[in-house]
Structure 1
Amino acid sequence: MTQKSAARRRRVPPQEAGTGPTPPTIPAIPPADVLGRLAALQSAPIALLKQQWRELFGKEPPPFNRAYIQSRLAYRIQELAYGGLKRETRARLQALGEQLDGGNVVLRRIRADSRPLPGTRLLREYDGVEHVVTVRPDNFDYEGRPYRSLSAIARHITGTRWNGWTFFGLRKPGP
């Protein structure tokens, strides 16, 4: 029996069967080192944070801002030192999330506490005309038509692309 067929029979991932790249080794972090490492994140240059990301996650860092990378590194350091969530807990959280948003990825990206409550009326005056949008549990109502997003309504009103949350004053415009 070849090594590859033995790996298939035991359902071993190809990396362990010697047919693919070896996954990076993630270092263990002693609990006594956690506070010092967390404090060091605050003053570390971004290049060092990205290097730590590669070491602790075994992959390239995402193109996000410093605060995001710092917070994820802080969690990862504690996770490696004290242990992460049990597989059952992660599965339960995933099931609850899907139950909450029905598996809709768009809704998942919108924090539940930032979305206006159903029944809320959003008012916006544009070109001397007052526009009223009613928030529904799963969509938005404008002129008797359902829309999936506020951005689609803003585009309908203005004829140009807008962030709907910014257009209706729910979020401050970016820099």
Structure 2
Amino acid sequence: MTRRSTGATTMPPAPTIPKIPPAEVLGRLAALQTLPTPALKEMWRQLFGREPLIFNRPYLQSRLAYRIQELAYGGLKPETRARLEALGEQLDGGNVVLRRIRADSRPLPGTRLVREYDGIQHVVTVRADDFEFEGRPYRSLSAIARHITGTRWNGWTFFGLKGRPEA
């Protein structure tokens, strides 16, 4: 026969996140540049109350720098958060996945890409589903770069948007 516990389970106490005096902010920010990665991870645990999900040193440093300032001076006002959420929903209809894809891949519709080639300035307008160049639609920046140069180019590289997919 097994016994069942009838008492409530105890939850571990929520970690207490320390307040940071504004006078300490600059020193802490400067220290982020010299601390070893294990020390950055420990600071993350203290300031966020959980384990870091990413161990990339520049990521840890930038997020910790923001968190130090947030704990010293306060975070975004609720009105500002609400406004940012509303703008995000305007952009993508509330679809968080689409928001991340758009932020990581294509420039926003209406963006003008300017590239000088052989002494001529070429302007491309980003549209919702394609690109416009010289009054004609193109499905990709690579097609426009090929039209301009006569050779194959990665369109993102040609227009200075290196490292981004053409989707």
TM-score range, shorter chain: 0.5 to 0.7
Distance 2:77 2:111 in 1: 39
Identity of aligned residues (%): 63
Secondary structure of the residue that 2:84 maps to in structure 1? helix
Distance 1:48 1:119 in 2: 42
| Residue 51 (structure 2) pairs with residue 60 (structure 1) | yes
Partner of 2:75: 84
Distance 1:168 1:71 in 2: 27
CA pair 59-136 structure 1, distance change in 2 beyond 3 A: same
Partner of 2:21: 30
Give 1:7-22 correspondences, 5 Å limit. Answer: 19-22=10-13
Superposed CA offset, 1:3-26 (max 9, x none): xxxxxxxxxxxxxx9842211000
CA pair 140-62 structure 1, distance change in 2 beyond 3 A: farther
Superposed CA offset, 1:27-74 (max 9, x none): 111111100000000111111111111100111112252112111110
Give 1:82-161 correspondences, 5 Å limit. Answer: 82-109=73-100, 110-111=102-103, 115=107, 117=109, 136-137=127-128, 139=129
Distance 1:21 1:53 in 2: 19
Superposed CA offset, 1:127-170 (max 9, x none): xxxxxxx9641x459xxxxx9xx9xxxxxxxxxxxxxxx78644
Name structure 2 gaps, 5 residues minimum.
1-7, 113-124, 132-138, 141-153
Q: TM-score, normalised by structure 2?
A: 0.58
Q: TM-score, normalised by structure 1?
A: 0.56
Name structure 1 gaps, 5 residues minimum.
1-16, 121-133, 142-146, 151-165
Distance 2:155 2:36 in 1: 36
Distance 1:35 1:73 in 2: 13
Partner of 1:42: 33
Greater relative contact order structure (CA < 8 Å, 6+ sep): 2
CA RMSD of aligned residues (A): 3.4
1:117, distance to aligned residue in structure 2 (A):
4.0
Q: How many residues align?
A: 122
